[in-house]
A and B are shown apart, each in its own frame.
Chain A
C-alpha cells in the first residue's frame, strides 16, 4: 500500500504528526539526559563519546521537529521549547534521570535497539521526507549501537556491573515497551505506508533482539507481567524528574520568548 492508494485525511495527517512528535521527543529528551554526563563520565574518552552521541540525538530531534513543523505549519523551535511538560510525547523510558552509569547504559542500550528497529522500518516509509531522514540517521546510529553494545558487555563482565545493570533493567522494561505504544489512528498510517508496519510488529522485533542478549549476559529480561502491562499511557505519563529536566532545557528559551540571535 502506498500514499497514492489512500488519500490523506485530517486524521491521517494528525496521526503522522503524532508519530513524528513521539520520535522527536524521544531523541530530544534522551539527548538532554545523557548530555548531563559531559565532564563527569567515568573517563575522558567517555566524556567525549557521550557528548557526541547526545549532540547527534538533539540534532536528529531538530530535523524531526522541522519535518513536523512543515507538516503542521508550526515553528520547530516553538515545538521543541515552547510546550508545557505534559505536552511532551516521549516514551516513559525517557522519564528517568541519568542515575548511575550502569542505569544510563542499560536505558540507552534498550533505546538504541528500539531506535534501530524503528529507523529500519521508517527508511521504508511512503512519506519520502521521513524515509530520507531515517536513512541518513541510520548511518549515524550504527556508531551509537556499537558503542552501547561494547559498554553493556563491559559492565556485565563483573559482578558489580552485572548487579547494577540488573537493578536498572528490572524497573525499565515496561517503560521501554512504551516506545512501541500504539498511536491513535495507527491503522491509517500503516494503510498509507507512512508507518510501514504496526507498532506491535516493531515491538516484537525489538524483543527478539534484546531478549537473547539479556539471557547471554545473565541480565533480567522482561517478565510476563512487564509484557502484559498496559502501555496506552506510555507516551503521556510524565514524572517530576522530567519536569525538572524540562525546566533546565527550556531555561534559556523561556528567559526571552521569541528572541533570535
Chain B
C-alpha cells in the first residue's frame, strides 16, 4: 500500500471517485467499494508501475471489463507512474457491506434500496440460514417498510426486485451478498 504521506494517494482516490459504475451511474466505483487498493512498485525497466486491485461485485459481472478499462484510462491520464496495471482480485471478497454511506444515500436517491448490512460472518461466508435478503426493505421512494420481495433476481446480477404496497411502486434493491 502507498504510505500515508504519499501525496499521489489522495489524487488517485479523487480521480477514481469520478468514475461512475457503468450499470448504476449514480454511484462511483469508490463508493461502490470495488477498489481493493493500489500500490507503486518498480516495473523492472527503471520506472514505476501502479497496480490497482479491482474487486468484482459478482464474479460474472459483465460490467467489470468496462470498469477495468475506465480505471486504467483515468489513471494513465494522471501520468503518476510509467505503467498502470488494473487486475481483478478475489483476495478480499467484495461484499455489499463495502458500499460507503455516501454510496448508500446516492443509491436511495436514484431509486435503489441499499443492501441490508450483512450482520453475520462477513467477510467470511454468512450463515446460509440468515439470508439478509429476507429482511424488510425500505421503499426508496416513500420510505414505507410495507414492501415485498417480487424476485431475488433482477435486471443485472446484483439487483433484486421489490414492490411497495404503500406507494404501489416497483423498485430495485442492490442485493446483499
| A residues lining the B interface (CB < 8 Å) | 45, 48-49, 51-53, 55-60, 62-63, 116, 123, 129, 132-133, 135-140, 142-143, 145-147
Contact = CB atoms under 8 A, between A and B. Distances in A.
Given A56-B60, A60-B59, A132-B91, A139 B125 contact: yes
A55 B157 contact: yes
B95 A139 contact: yes
Q: How large is the interface on B (under 10, 10 to 19, 20 to 34, 35 or more residues)?
A: 20 to 34
A49 B90 contact: no
A233 B59 CA distance: 30
B42 to A, nearest CB: 23
A139 B60 CA distance: 13
Interface of B: 56, 58-62, 90-91, 93-95, 124-126, 128, 131, 133, 150-155, 157, 161, 175, 177
Given A60-B59, A136-B59, A140-B59, 15 more contacts: A45-B151, A48-B151, A58-B60, A60-B60, A132-B90, A132-B91, A133-B59, A133-B90, A135-B125, A136-B56, A136-B94, A140-B58, A140-B157, A142-B126, A146-B152
Contacts, number: 81
A138 B59 CA distance: 11
Given A59-B58, A59-B60, A140-B58, A123 B93 contact: no
B117 to A, nearest CB: 14
Most buried by A among B56, B124, B125: B125
B94 A62 contact: no
A49 B151 contact: yes
A63 B153 contact: no
Interface centre among A48, A62, A116, A139 (most CB of B within 10 A): A139
Contacts of B128: 116, 142, 145
10 contacts: A49-B151, A49-B153, A52-B154, A52-B157, A60-B60, A63-B90, A132-B90, A135-B93, A136-B56, A140-B58
A59 B131 contact: no
Contacts of B91: 132
A25 to B, nearest CB: 16
Given A132-B90, A133-B90, A135-B124, A56 B152 contact: no
